[in-house]
């Protein structure tokens, strides 16, 4: 048998490692057979046996470890969802997610990006709507943590703009800022889990807006009033300040309070007209 190419070995190994069952089952799967006959694998022509282990048993070290590592990576980012479902149920669910959405990026922080949609389609639980919201919040926290570095806009930035130009000002949000609208108050629920290791009762449905952002090396979550969220969402979408403020009925004093808070928390990194 001629030596297999590196591409063939890599492709076959990927199939075996990602298979949800044991390596003995994986090497006989149709996808693995595309590359190598399972009889050749069992005979030690692809993976050599050791004095104590068969080729399939040696492959099991990677086969089981790969899936376990991915499940652990998801659990570290979605501690709230895991706490509600329980360790066993969460792991079984994520094991299915791993099969449906294999990792395709070297950064595992991005691996769980489809989990909220996966829960919406596959979770048979009366708390599903809330858990989808909770997963969306935890996903945004992960995104904020993983966002590129940035330098916040100086607090005097808007003050340097002539008053007649203020309406045309466009603010660039910092790359970690996420404006999130949820159907349930998932943030105080998550705080109970993360800060007190306590799983409270699932809250009733109630729409709320949040800003999720990184500041001074930490990810923060701040509740937003409905009008404040509308303006902030418009600014993050690239709308000029005048058009963003036109969307709401708010006093100049209230608007000033918003901008003071946003400036303090480093929501924007650049200003231009």
In a domain, 252, yes or no: no
Pairwise CA distance, residues 223 & 205, whole Å? 16
What's the pLDDT tens digit per position in 207-236?
999 999 999 999 999 999 999 999 999 999
Q: Are strands 208-215 and 178-182 parallel, antiparallel or unpaired?
A: antiparallel
Q: Is residue 207 part of a domain?
A: no
Residue 127 lies in a domain: no
Residues with pLDDT less than 70, the chain: 1-2, 155-166
111 within a domain of the structure (yes/no): yes
- 180 close to 209: Cβ distance less than 8 angstroms: yes
The two structure tokens encoding residue 60: 């099991």
Confirm whether 110 is domain-assigned.
Answer: yes
Query: Residue 161: what pLDDT?
Result: 61
Q: Does residue 99 belong to any structural domain of this protein?
A: yes
Q: Is 42 inside a domain boundary?
A: yes
Burial class of residue 79 (count of CB atoms within 10 Å of its CB; 0-12, 13-18, 19+) = middle
Q: How many domains does the chain have?
A: 1
Name, in order, each residue with C-beta under 8 angstroms of 24's C-beta and a sequence gap of 6 or more. Answer: 56
Residue 145 lies in a domain: no
Q: Can you give the residue range of the structural domain that contains 27?
A: 6-116
Which pLDDT does position 1 carry in this prediction?
60
């Amino acid at each position: 048998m001629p030596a297999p190419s590196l591409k063939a070995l890599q492709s076959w190994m990927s199939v075996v490692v990602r298979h949800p069952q044991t390596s003995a089952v994986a090497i006989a799967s149709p996808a693995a057979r595309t590359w190598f006959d399972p009889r050749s694998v069992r005979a030690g022509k692809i993976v050599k046996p050791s004095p104590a282990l068969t080729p399939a048993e040696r492959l099991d070290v990677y086969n089981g470890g790969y899936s376990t590592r991915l499940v652990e990576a998801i659990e570290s980012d979605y501690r709230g969802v895991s706490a509600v479902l329980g360790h066993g149920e969460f792991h079984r669910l994520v094991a299915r997610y791993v099969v449906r959405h294999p990792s395709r990026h070297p950064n595992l922080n991005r691996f769980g990006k489809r989990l909220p949609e996966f829960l919406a389609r596959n979770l048979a639980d009366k708390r599903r709507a809330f858990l989808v919201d909770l997963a969306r919040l935890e996903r945004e926290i992960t995104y904020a943590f993983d966002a590129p570095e940035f330098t916040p806009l100086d607090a005097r930035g808007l003050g340097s703009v002539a008053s007649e130009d203020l309406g045309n000002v466009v603010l660039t949000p910092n790359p970690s800022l996420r404006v999130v609208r949820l159907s349930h108050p998932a943030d105080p629920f998550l705080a109970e889990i993360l800060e007190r290791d306590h799983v409270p009762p699932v809250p009733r449905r109630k729409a709320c807006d949040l800003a999720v952002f990184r500041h001074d090396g930490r990810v923060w979550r701040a509740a937003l009033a409905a009008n404040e969220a509308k303006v902030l969402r418009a600014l993050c979408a690239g709308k000029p300040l005048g058009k963003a403020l036109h969307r709401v009925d708010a006093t100049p004093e209230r608007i000033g309070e918003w901008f003071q808070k946003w400036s303090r928390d480093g929501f924007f990194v650049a200003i231009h007209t």
